[in-house]
Chain A
Amino acid sequence: MNDVELRVPRVEVRGIRKSYGAVTALRSVDLTVHAGEVLGVLGDNGAGKSTLMKILAGSEQPDGGEIFVDGALVSFSSPRDSRSAGFEMIYQDLALCDDLDVASNFYLGREPCWFGMLNLKRMHADAAGELAQLGSRIPTTKVEIKALSGGQRQTVAIGRALLFDPRVLIMDEPTAALGVRETATVIETIRQVKKKNVAVILISHRMQDILDVCDRAILIAEGTDVAEFAVPELTTEDIADIILRGRFGKEAKH
């Protein structure tokens, strides 16, 4: 047993269940992520990855099961609860408002105020600072999202998530819509985030992403976590095998 497992995990999920009417989205999912660790979540479409993410984001409530943060039981009844526990999401669709400028998107829902008025100066300054840290090429935080390219939008979504120093960062297919260079930037950003001792959950179809940054990965199939792997031992073929067959071929040999 290594020392990672001796520490209290940053996030521990036990037996999470969720049904929508007659459809069972999650039967029972367990997962743990430690601070400074990147956990990959694999699974085919409809396996329940998005539902799991929505539950961790607080926008859906589980029917059963428990979530612990640093060993303490938490319950998220709204996205607000999740945010205040230090969870930040980067959604696949990025969840940006096209008509608002970059700074407004950064702070929407938790605006810095000065006697009830938006502190626009601070919003623009801090958003620009965060973008600069990410090496962004967005010229000004006053530009509207709809004028940005796909990669720039992704940078805005990432910058927004990092702005409030999250303790847990959950990313849903962050590279799905990106070109090669942008993908490399995102992967590099995840590495930096990891160094800051953030627990990262990376949901991705792109096997290379999982291999590049994840420490461990779990496979979700039919609403439950069926296997867990240490990523450095895997190849892309192994991961394809895992997703296609629902289990890990090498496991039998162990």
Chain B
Amino acid sequence: MTAGDASAQSIGASWLLTIRYSAILPILVMFILVLVAFGLTTDRFWSVGNVTNVLRQGAPLVIVAVGVTFVLVAAGIDLSIGAMVSFVGVMTALILQMGLAPELTVPLILGLALAIGVVNGYLITYQRLPSFIVTLGTLSILVGIAQLIGQGFSIPIETDRWLISLGQGRIGGIVPVQIAIAMIVVAVGWVLLNRTPYGLRIRGIGSNMESVRRSGVPVNRLVTSVYMLAAVLAAVGGIIIAMRLQSGTASAGTGLELKAIAAVVLGGTSLFGGKGTVVGSMLGVYTLGFIENGLVLNRVDPFYFNIIQGLVLLVALWLNMGFFSRMR
């Protein structure tokens, strides 16, 4: 055997390993299938305007989903993020209406979200309450506050152009600002999860928390941090949505947590923790987004959307957990 053979063999082996352990493969295949199928069957699906529109509309959900990815990887769940989106929209509108400068309003809102994330994390880690119930409680409180403030109405937002542009602007008149923000969040999230000690420890915690604790890592603080991250990213998504609507509405984030969790699981992140992919979550959001868009263009009754999205999720989950685990 020559040296060339040996190196070719080892490259082949490492390529095979990458495929084997790549959680992203199923969603990538599905994403491409959806694009090709609708592209072949539907006029204007592949038009620049339509694609940009889907990417733009999905951008806040991508940002939210990156936060959810970290929570799921750490073997937790955060149901309060949709409520956070509503809460943040209404609070932002209220505070701006009261006359606070937007330069101060945004940090204030993000700080508030961070504090709520700390409360979630504290109750889950230090008080050992189940994340499902804690964040269900936070969900109810946040939605309640948003409804209380709005009293059934949406609060209009009149503010500086730079803040509005987060939801409506385009960079150089071409790339929507929210897509740019979403891509930055995805890139930073990927690096954080895959290339930093923080991400490694989060993945370790999701896999075997006790082992990580025994290696001297401050586990409680790290678990708290993922709820802080999820809360802040949900707040960023909430601000963007509020700026797009130019109003704060208590229903803006209704059901968004389920959409985000569905997209993240569809993207290949394990519901049991330890394993996750930020890029997969983004593809999950956009796969669902393009399916919905394709159905709209084909004039399918909108009541079918939820049914179809649920079916897609179940099939994806089955593929991810059954088929790909059997390959190992």
Interface residue from B191, B216, B328 paired with A80 (Cβ < 8 Å): B216
Chain A 88-120 per-residue mask, 1 if CB under 8 angstroms from chain B, else 0: 010100011111100010011111010011101
B17 at the interface (CB under 8 A from A): yes
Chain B 248-284 per-residue mask, 1 if CB under 8 angstroms from chain A, else 0: 0000000000000000000000100111000000000
A73 at the interface (CB under 8 A from B): no
A4 at the interface (CB under 8 A from B): no
Chain A 59-81 per-residue mask, 1 if CB under 8 angstroms from chain B, else 0: 10000000000000000001110
- On chain A, which size bracket covers the interface? 20 to 34
Q: State whether A118 and B196 are in contact (beta carbons under 8 Å apart), knowing that A97-B203, A99-B274, A109-B201 are contacts in the complex.
A: yes
Within 8 A of B (CB), among A25-69: 57-59
- Distance (Å) between the CB of B69 and the closest chain A CB? 14
A10 at the interface (CB under 8 A from B): no
The reply to whether A79 and B204 contact each other, CB–CB distance below 8 Å, is no
Report the separation of the CA atoms of residues A89 and B14 in the bound assembly, to the nearest whole angstrom: 32
Interface on chain A toward B: helix, strand, loop, or mixed SS? Answer: loop
Q: Which residues of A contact B200 (CB under 8 A)?
A: 100, 104, 107-108, 111, 118
Report the separation of the CA atoms of residues A108 and B195 in the bound assembly, to the nearest whole angstrom: 13
The reply to whether A59 and B211 contact each other, CB–CB distance below 8 Å, is no
Q: Which residues of A contact B201 (CB under 8 A)?
A: 108-109
The reply to whether A108 and B213 contact each other, CB–CB distance below 8 Å, is no
A147 at the interface (CB under 8 A from B): yes
Q: Which residues of A contact B270 (CB under 8 A)?
A: 99
Interface residue from B191, B206, B212 paired with A108 (Cβ < 8 Å): B212
Report the separation of the CA atoms of residues A97 and B201 in the bound assembly, to the nearest whole angstrom: 10
The reply to whether B17 and A98 contact each other, CB–CB distance below 8 Å, is no
The reply to whether A108 and B215 contact each other, CB–CB distance below 8 Å, is yes
The reply to whether A95 and B21 contact each other, CB–CB distance below 8 Å, is no
Complex: chain B residue closest to A97, CB-CB: B207
B326 at the interface (CB under 8 A from A): no
The reply to whether A79 and B275 contact each other, CB–CB distance below 8 Å, is no
The reply to whether B213 and A79 contact each other, CB–CB distance below 8 Å, is yes
B210 at the interface (CB under 8 A from A): yes
Report the separation of the CA atoms of residues A104 and B207 in the bound assembly, to the nearest whole angstrom: 12
Chain A 133-174 per-residue mask, 1 if CB under 8 angstroms from chain B, else 0: 000000010111011000000000000000000000000000
The reply to whether B211 and A97 contact each other, CB–CB distance below 8 Å, is yes
Interface residue from A97, A107, A120, A140 paired with B208 (Cβ < 8 Å): A97
Complex: chain B residue closest to A98, CB-CB: B207
A17 at the interface (CB under 8 A from B): no
A205 at the interface (CB under 8 A from B): no
Q: Which residues of B contact A83 (CB under 8 A)?
A: 215-216
- On chain B, which size bracket covers the interface? 20 to 34
Report the separation of the CA atoms of residues A95 and B207 in the bound assembly, to the nearest whole angstrom: 11
B4 at the interface (CB under 8 A from A): no
B217 at the interface (CB under 8 A from A): yes
Q: Which residues of B contact A144 (CB under 8 A)?
A: 21
Interface residue from B21, B206, B211, B275 paired with A96 (Cβ < 8 Å): B211
Complex: chain A residue closest to B210, CB-CB: A95
Report the separation of the CA atoms of residues A118 and B203 in the bound assembly, to the nearest whole angstrom: 14
Q: State whether A109 and B216 are in contact (beta carbons under 8 Å apart), knowing that A96-B211, A144-B21 are contacts in the complex.
A: yes
Report the separation of the CA atoms of residues A48 and B273 in the bound assembly, to the nearest whole angstrom: 33
B172 at the interface (CB under 8 A from A): no
B107 at the interface (CB under 8 A from A): no
Report the separation of the CA atoms of residues A57 and B215 in the bound assembly, to the nearest whole angstrom: 9
B197 at the interface (CB under 8 A from A): yes
Report the separation of the CA atoms of residues A109 and B196 in the bound assembly, to the nearest whole angstrom: 11
Interface residue from B195, B203, B208, B275 paired with A95 (Cβ < 8 Å): B208
The reply to whether A59 and B213 contact each other, CB–CB distance below 8 Å, is yes
B214 at the interface (CB under 8 A from A): yes
The reply to whether B216 and A117 contact each other, CB–CB distance below 8 Å, is no
Report the separation of the CA atoms of residues A222 and B198 in the bound assembly, to the nearest whole angstrom: 42
The reply to whether A110 and B274 contact each other, CB–CB distance below 8 Å, is no
- Distance (Å) between the CB of A152 and the closest chain B CB? 15
Q: Which residues of B contact A113 (CB under 8 A)?
A: 197
Interface residue from A100, A116, A147 paired with B204 (Cβ < 8 Å): A100
The 3 closest A-B pairs by CB, nearest first: A99-B274, A109-B215, A80-B216
Q: Apart from A97-B274, A107-B200, list 19 A-B contacts with CB within 8 A.
A: A57-B214, A80-B216, A91-B214, A95-B211, A95-B214, A96-B208, A97-B212, A99-B270, A99-B274, A100-B203, A108-B201, A108-B211, A108-B212, A109-B212, A109-B217, A111-B200, A142-B17, A142-B21, A143-B17
- Of the A-B pairs whose beta carbons lie under 8 Å apart in the complex, a sample of 27, sorted by A's number, is A59-B213, A59-B214, A79-B215, A80-B216, A82-B216, A83-B215, A96-B211, A97-B207, A98-B207, A99-B273, A100-B204, A104-B200, A107-B200, A108-B200, A108-B204, A110-B215, A111-B200, A117-B191, A117-B196, A118-B195, A118-B196, A118-B200, A120-B195, A140-B17, A142-B14, A143-B17, A146-B328
